[in-house]
Structure 1
Amino acid sequence: MNKLFLEKIILGNSLANYILAVLFLSLVFLIIKIFDKFILKKIDSFIEKFSNSFSSLVKEIVKKRIYPLLYLFSFYLIFLNLKTSNQISQFLNLVLMFLTVIFTVLAVLDLISYSLKKYWSKKLQSEEQQKLLSITLFIVKSFIWIIALLFILDNLNIQIKGLITGLGVGGVAIAFAAQNILSDLFNYFTIFFDKPFAIGDFIITGDYRGTIEHIGLKTTRIRSLSGEQLIIANTDLVNSRINNYQRMEQRRINFSFGLTYNTSLVNLKKVPLIVEEIINSVEKTKFDRAHFAEYAPFSLVFQVVYYVQASDYKIYMDLQQQINFKLKERFEELGVSFAFPTQTIYLENQNQFENN
C-alpha cells in the first residue's frame, strides 16, 4: 500500500521523487546552518584577529552571495532529477545562469569596493578625494557590469561581435568629440595621485600666482593675490611648470643694503659681524653669510644671505622687518648712515679759470 502511494504520479513525477527533493533541500539547509553556526564563526574569529573590517566583509559575502548561490544550485539539482518539459528546463537554465552571474558580480564588486575604500582611507583628506573615490567606483562597477551583460548575451546565443564593434566605433567617436573633457578628467586623476599641489597651497604657474581653492574634475580654481579667482583647466596646469611654495621647508633670503662712502674702514669691518649677530638673535632664522660686496655709484654695498625656517610669506616679511629695525638701531648707535643717491658738484673760482 505504501509502495503504491509513493509511486503515485503527480505532474509526471512520483511522490517518492518529491519527498527525496524535499529531503535533499532540508539536508542542504541543515548543512548551511551547521556551517554558519560553527565553521563560519571560527573562520570569522580567526580573520577578526587581523582585520575587523575584512572579517565583516567575508561574513557578508558568504551570507548574502554564497548562501543564495548554494540554494540556487540545490533547486537546480532537484529539477534535473525531476521530469520537466524542455521549455521549463531551458527557462531554469537561463534563470540559474542569470542569477549566478549577478551574485558572482556582486561578490566581486564587494571585494573591489572594500579594497578601493581601504586604499583610499589612507589618502582621504578632502571632499574632492571622496568624490574621486565615488567616480572610480562608478567606472569600475560599470565596466564589470558591461562584461557581465556581454557574457549573458553570449550565453543567450545573441551575436555580440557587431555590438562590440559598434561600441568600439561609438566609443572612439565619443572620445574624439570629448577629448578635451577626457583629457582634463584624466589629468584630475594625475593631480590626485601625483599630488603636485593640494587645496590651500600657494603656487606660481606661468604668469599666475595664488592659493588653491578648489580642484574639480575639469578645472582648478586659484585665488590670486589681487583677490580675483582664476579658473585654469587641469590639462593646462599639469602641462605647465608649477612652483609650490607651500612645500618649502625653508626660504632662502638674499638682500642688500648700502652705506655712505664716508664710513670708516673700522666700522665697515664691524658690519658683517653686526648683521650675523642680529640675524642669529631673531627666531626661525639661520644666518648664512654677509659680505662687503661692491663699490656702487652711490654706496658701499653689503650682501646678506640667510634662511627662514618657514614657508609662509607673512612670517618671512615679519622677520625681515625685525632685522631691518635692528640694523637701523645698531647703525645709528655706531654712527653709520645708510646711503641714498647723492651727487657732489665741485665749483671752481671763475677768476682763477680766466687767468689760467
Structure 2
Amino acid sequence: MKNTLNDAEAKIKESMLTESQWDTLWTSSIKIAVIIIVSILAIKFGRKLIRRLLKVQARGPLQVSERRSVTLVRLLENVIAYVVFFIAVLTILPIFGVETRGLIVGAGVGGVALGFGAQSLVKDIISGFFILFEDQFSVGDYIRVQTFEGTVQSIGLKTTKIRSATGELHIIQNGMITEVTNFSLHNSVALVDISISYEGDIEHAQSVIEEHLVEMPERYEEMVKAPEYLGIQSFGPSEVVIRIASEVKPMAQFKISRAIRKEIKEVLERNNIEIPYPKMVLYRQPEPNNEKAQS
C-alpha cells in the first residue's frame, strides 16, 4: 500500500512543473502579452498616422477627393495590420522554440515560385495600385470600361465592381482595364435638340427660348450656368432642328436634358409656335357619274 502511494506521489511530482519551468512559462507569457499589446498599439498608431497624413494632404495644394481618401485609408490600414501581425508571429514563434529562418527562406522561395505561376494575379494587383494612387476613378464614380458602363461599387487590388443602370453587377479584373472613361470628374454638358416646323417663326422662337433659359438655373441647382441657345443644328424633312447646350454638374446631364425638353415644349405651346409632328393626308377618289356608269 505504501509503495502504491509512493508511486502515485512520484508521478504527481513528475507531472508538476519545476521552479525553473514555471519561471520560463511566466517569462514567455509576459513576452507574448507584451508583443500582442505592442502590435495592437502599433496598428492603432499607424492608422492614426495615415489619417493625419491624408488630412494634411487635403489641406495642401494637391487635393485628394474624399472618396479616394476613404479608399486609400482602408487599403493602407489593412496593409499595416497584415505587416504588424506577420512580424508579431515571427517574434512569438522563437519563444516556443520554432526556428523562423527556415520559414523565411521557404517563404521567399515559395514567393518566387508563386510569382512565376501567378503572373496575372501580380498584374491585377499592380494595376489596382496604379488605379488607386493615380485616382483614375473612385467608388461612386460613373465610368465606362470597354463595353461595361455604370457606377463603381468597390475597388480592390485584384478586381473592380461596376453596377450598371439596370442593376447588373460587373466584376472586372484590374489587369484587364486598359481604357477608362470617367464621367464624374468634370462638369457635363446637356445637349438638347428642339424641332420647329418650317412655317414657324424661328426668330420669335429664339427670343422666347432665350428668355426662358435665363430663368432655369433658379429652379435647378445642378445647372452651373444658364443654358445657351446655339442656333440651327440641321434641317429635317419637315422641321428645323435647333440646339440648346447647358453646362451641369457631373452626371446631371440626363435629368437636365429631360427638364429642358419639358419646359421648352410648354413655352412653345404658350407662344403658339408649332412643333412638327407626323401628319397623314388622305385623298378620296371621286365617285364616277351614275349616268356614265349606266351607259
TM-score between both structures, scaled by the size of structure 2: 0.60
1:105–1:148 CA contact under 8 A, matched in 2: no
Distance 2:254 2:192 in 1: 17
Distance 1:211 1:163 in 2: 44
Distance 2:197 2:175 in 1: 53
User: In structure 1, what residue type is equivalent to 2:199?
Assistant: N
Which residue number in structure 2 is paired with residue 259 of structure 1?
196
Matched ranges for 1:90-169 at <5 A: 114-120=45-51, 122=54, 131-141=74-84, 167-169=107-109
The Cα offsets for residues 47-89 of structure 1, whole Å up to 9 and x where unpaired, read as xxxxxxxxxxxxxxxxxxxxxxxxxxxxxxxxxxxxxxxxxxx
Which of the pair has the greater relative contact order for Cα pairs under 8 Å at 6+ separation? 2
1:210–1:222 CA contact under 8 A, matched in 2: yes
2:142–2:251 CA contact under 8 A, matched in 1: no
Task: Please list every run of 5 or more consecutive structure 2 residues that lacks an aligned counterpart in the other structure.
Answer: 1-26, 56-65, 282-295
Matched ranges for 1:314-329 at <5 A: 315-329=255-269
Distance 1:280 1:206 in 2: 38
Q: Does the alignment pair 1:218 with 2:158?
A: yes
Which residue number in structure 1 is paired with residue 18 of structure 2?
none
2:195–2:242 CA contact under 8 A, matched in 1: yes
Matched ranges for 1:77-92 at <5 A: none
Greater Rg by CA: 1
User: In structure 2, what residue type is equivalent to 1:140?
Assistant: V
Distance 1:268 1:201 in 2: 40
The Cα offsets for residues 273-312 of structure 1, whole Å up to 9 and x where unpaired, read as 2221121121334222331344433222322222234633
Cα RMSD of the aligned pairs, angstroms, is 4.5
**Identical pairs, percent:** 25
Paired residues in the alignment total 237
Distance 1:340 1:273, change over 3 A: same
The Cα offsets for residues 113-150 of structure 1, whole Å up to 9 and x where unpaired, read as 6244322364786986565234311343367569979x
Distance 1:272 1:191, change over 3 A: same
Which residue number in structure 2 is paired with residue 305 of structure 1?
245
User: In structure 2, what residue type is equivalent to 1:270?
Assistant: H
Q: Does the alignment pair 1:274 with 2:208?
A: yes
Task: Please list every run of 5 or more consecutive structure 1 residues that lacks an aligned counterpart in the other structure.
Answer: 1-94, 153-157, 345-356
Q: Does the alignment pair 1:170 with 2:107?
A: no
Distance 1:221 1:314, change over 3 A: same
Distance 2:127 2:250 in 1: 30
Distance 1:318 1:259 in 2: 18
